[in-house]
């Protein structure tokens, strides 16, 4: 659902330079953004991309606004603001609470209220899965793992130690090994 640029500015405490009625539908990189997209600028290496962007708006610091050809949301922390706006525009799918018939859950594991355990997940002995947690398909939780409320483990994640509160854990790859905190 589109959100107006003015609403985003108000919600996230940004100064707006541009038309507050501009409809924002999705996030995108500076280079791939077009109408209805919002992007961010925080790294001087991408200044040429900023100058050429076709985004509807860009989130950036006030010192960089002169290089931006489109509407801007001024923020002291452009990436953090962008991440929060991304979560607003692209919320996670609602949970379907319950345990899939192909999941294997130890009898000593505790699954919280509203949690969803997807197909082929394995949850070990003495695990605790908090309320409103998503355990994706093929995930494996080793014995004694605690997953805090509102966390999301996407497909094929293996956790052998605890994870921080309210996080999203993407499938590990050679490029991504960090946890993202949800704010």
pLDDT by residue for the chain (183 residues), tens only, comes to: 799 999 999 999 999 999 999 999 999 999 999 999 999 999 999 999 999 999 999 999 999 999 999 999 999 999 999 999 998 999 888 999 999 999 999 999 999 999 999 999 999 999 999 999 999 999 999 999 999 899 999 899 999 865 666 666 665 543 333 444 444
Supply the pLDDT for residue 100: 98
Q: Is residue 117 within 8 Å of 100, Cβ to Cβ?
A: yes
Supply the pLDDT for residue 126: 94
Q: Is residue 70 within 8 Å of 18, Cβ to Cβ?
A: yes
Supply the pLDDT for residue 176: 38
Q: What is the pTM of this model?
A: 0.66
Half-sphere exposure of 135 (CA within 13 A, CB side): 39
Supply the pLDDT for residue 93: 87
Supply the pLDDT for residue 91: 87
Distance of CA 112 to the CA centre of its chain: 22
Supply the pLDDT for residue 178: 42
Supply the pLDDT for residue 171: 58
Phi, psi of 30 (to 5 degrees): -55, -45
């Amino acid at each position: 659902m589109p959100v107006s640029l003015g609403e985003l500015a108000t919600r996230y405490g940004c100064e707006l330079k541009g038309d507050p009625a501009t409809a924002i539908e999705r996030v995108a990189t500076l280079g791939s953004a077009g109408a209805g997209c919002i992007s961010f600028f925080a790294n001087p290496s991408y200044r040429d991309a900023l100058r050429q962007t076709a985004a509807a708006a860009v989130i950036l610091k006030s010192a960089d606004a002169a290089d931006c050809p489109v509407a801007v949301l001024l923020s002291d922390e452009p990436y953090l603001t962008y991440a929060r706006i991304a979560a607003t525009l692209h919320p996670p799918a609602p949970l379907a609470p319950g345990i899939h018939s192909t999941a294997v859950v130890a009898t000593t594991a505790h699954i919280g209220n509203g949690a969803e355990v997807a197909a082929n997940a394995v949850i070990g002995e003495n695990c605790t899965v908090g309320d409103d947690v998503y355990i994706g398909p093929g995930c494996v939780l080793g014995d004694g793992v605690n997953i805090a409320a509102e966390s999301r483990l996407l497909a094929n994640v293996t956790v052998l130690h605890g994870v921080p509160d309210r996080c999203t854990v993407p499938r590990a790859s050679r490029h991504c090994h960090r946890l993202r905190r949800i704010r």
